[in-house]
Structure 1
Amino acid sequence: MNRKRVTKWLKILLLVFLLILIIFPIYWIFIASISPSESFLSVDLSWLIPKKITFKHYLDILSTRNYRIYYWNSLVISTITTVLTLVVSTMGGYSLGRLRFCGRNALSQMVLVTYLVPSILLLIPLFQFITKFHMQDSYLGLILSYMTFALPFCLWMLKGFFAGLPANMEDAALIDGTGVFGAFWRIILPLASPGLISAAMFTFLLCWNEYLFAMVFINNDSLRTIPVGVVSNFVTVTMGPSDWSRVMASAILASLPIYIIFIGLQKYFVAGLAAGSIKE
């Protein structure tokens, strides 16, 4: 066996090992959600292939009105934030990536520095801002706070994507008298669809999984999102095996939109991230 073949098999084994590390926690959560007993808490590895399967925990979660409310809140907040972030970052990314104006490079660097600031450092200023304008316990306050860390990244990624698009078709449209906005709407946006989709997926994922801001800015239980609602209402100190199974079932149900989005739009996500990494 030559050296290249040995290297190839070592890479395959490493990838398989990493894949197992990534998939195993998800598999464990799923097994725990369909397990009728506390077998999934045992050190015995026989629980990896359950002998009995039940979907009672899923039915219990779906029949809980609070969980359905949390699901709806997360869906509304994540969707609105994604749409607003995409609209603003698309126009801003196009301006920074395609147009030439004074201060463009400095503004681009400011956007990057803003994204590099840890979101937790924004917690106190945002809390004061939201409290001053009476936006606590509201969708609006949470949406604006989510945009503070989603918008800079999407701006920077779409800037690189727009800068990497060929200019021939856009120049031809401008020569034909389409105008800047017409060329942007008819030529650039269709070409930029992979980048737009990846930016939308990134934003939706951030908003759907965010916990800290939702916990601090929302006190009304009817307005809580899934991460905060599940921890507040389903996780207790005196939890038994069946309680843990319900929590695992709620985690699987909460992950379904993310799984569906990534499976359906994976190729656009990879293409958008690759294009967004291009430097001018």
Structure 2
Amino acid sequence: MSIATPSAVGRSAPARPAPRPSAARARRVAGRVLASVVALVVAALWAFPVYWMVLSAFTPTARLRVTPPSFWPESPTTSNFSGAVTGTNFGSALKMSLAVTGLTVVAVLLFAFLAALAISRFRFRGRTAFVITVLVVQMLPAEGLFIAQYKMLATAGMLNTVVGVSLFYVAAIVPFTVWMLRGFVAGVPADLEEAAMIDGLSRSQAFFRITLPLLAPGLVAAGVYAFLQAWNEFTVALVALPAESAQTLPLWLRGFLAASANRGVDWGEVMAASTLIAIPVIVFFVLVQNRMTSGLVSGAVKG
């Protein structure tokens, strides 16, 4: 048996050089960096029109015509907003848009949710025909229905009314919303309701206390889609709301732009008006963003 000498014990092993990253790993890192740079560039290009709109809304009109333009706020002012609101029917257009959009969102969620439940959880006669009808309705161009829609509203005396234009919005938005909610409903196992019923809940109690909370993110997503469609819709409103006193905000902006064109387009006021239209959408997203990402498993436990 050999015995280690003191010199051998005290001498430490030579340090090994740190391994260098392999070429494949370096390529992966370079690919991630390149993808991040491309994503940032695309995001900047997407956000720039919004930034320019808000910047122009706070920029005096005289400075908007300066060449080259300034991409940073200089001498900001709120006179464009007062000019856009004063002397116009902005208030009535805002009330009209809020009423039409609110009624449309509620009706769309109600009808689409019930339809999604029916085609996802039940097997009934005519189910296939109903699904095909929903698909066909989505293929119809809205422009091809304008004459019929106008005559229907004129005959029923519902032109320039909240209910009249909301009916058309609901008919246009419901088909796609049914398909959105159908995926959410199909993703919630029916076994959860059956387990809750075994624990002593009735079918309606199991649905409202177990299934409905799980479907809340889907309902919020469908509500966001319906809100955006109803808030920004222009062509149907142009047909159903011919009176100037019953305009929604997109129609008001069109009329505001046409009126300013007679004296030269005041782009500061136009951008301010566009910003005012965008504010309610931003507020709506701030209110519902948490519900879109949370609550996916809330209500899965009885109690």
TM-score, normalised to structure 2's length? Answer: 0.81
Deviations 1:87-132 (A, max 9, x none): 1111111111122223323322321232233322322222222222
4-13 or 198-207: bigger deviation: 4-13
Looking at structure 2, the residues matched to 97 and 207 of structure 1 have their Cα atoms a distance apart, in angstroms, of 26
Matched, 1:96 2:119: yes
Q: Pairwise CA RMSD of aligned residues? A: 2.3
Matched, 1:122 2:152: no
48-57 or 256-265: bigger deviation: 256-265
Q: How does 1:238-253 map to 2 (within 5 A)?
A: 238-240=262-264, 243-253=266-276
Looking at CA atoms only, which structure, 1 or 2, has the larger radius of gyration? Answer: 2
1:74 corresponds to which of 97, 118, 130:
97
Identity %: 30
1:11 corresponds to which of 31, 35, 39:
35
- Alpha-carbon spacing, 1:76–1:121, altered in 2? closer, same or farther (3 Å): same
* Aligned counterpart, 1:30: 54
* Aligned counterpart, 1:53: 76
Instruction: State the Cα distance separating 1:153 from its structure 2 match.
Output: 1.1
* Aligned counterpart, 1:131: 154
Give the residue type in structure 2 aligned to 1:7.
Answer: G
SS where residue 92 of structure 2 aligns?
Answer: helix
SS where residue 166 of structure 2 aligns?
Answer: helix
2:134 corresponds to which of 92, 96, 111:
111
Q: Does the CA-based 8 Å contact 1:67-1:229 persist in structure 2?
A: yes
Instruction: Identify the structure with the greater helix proportion.
Output: 1
* Aligned counterpart, 2:206: 183
Give the residue type in structure 1 aligned to 2:35.
Answer: K
Looking at structure 2, the residues matched to 188 and 115 of structure 1 have their Cα atoms a distance apart, in angstroms, of 28
Deviations 1:224-251 (A, max 9, x none): 000101211343433546x221111111
Runs of 4+ in 1 over 6 A off after TM superposition: none
Matched, 1:172 2:191: no
164-173 or 108-117: bigger deviation: 108-117
76-85 or 120-129: bigger deviation: 120-129
In structure 1, stretches of 5+ residues that fail to align are: 273-280
2:238 corresponds to which of 205, 208, 215:
215
47-56 or 184-193: bigger deviation: 184-193
Q: Does the CA-based 8 Å contact 1:198-1:270 persist in structure 2?
A: no
- Alpha-carbon spacing, 1:232–1:93, altered in 2? closer, same or farther (3 Å): same
- Alpha-carbon spacing, 1:148–1:175, altered in 2? closer, same or farther (3 Å): same
Q: Does the CA-based 8 Å contact 2:108-2:170 persist in structure 1?
A: yes
Instruction: State the Cα distance separating 1:204 from its structure 2 match.
Output: 1.0
- Alpha-carbon spacing, 1:41–1:18, altered in 2? closer, same or farther (3 Å): farther
SS where residue 123 of structure 2 aligns?
Answer: coil
- Alpha-carbon spacing, 1:8–1:22, altered in 2? closer, same or farther (3 Å): same
- Alpha-carbon spacing, 1:234–1:210, altered in 2? closer, same or farther (3 Å): same
Instruction: State the Cα distance separating 1:156 from its structure 2 match.
Output: 1.2
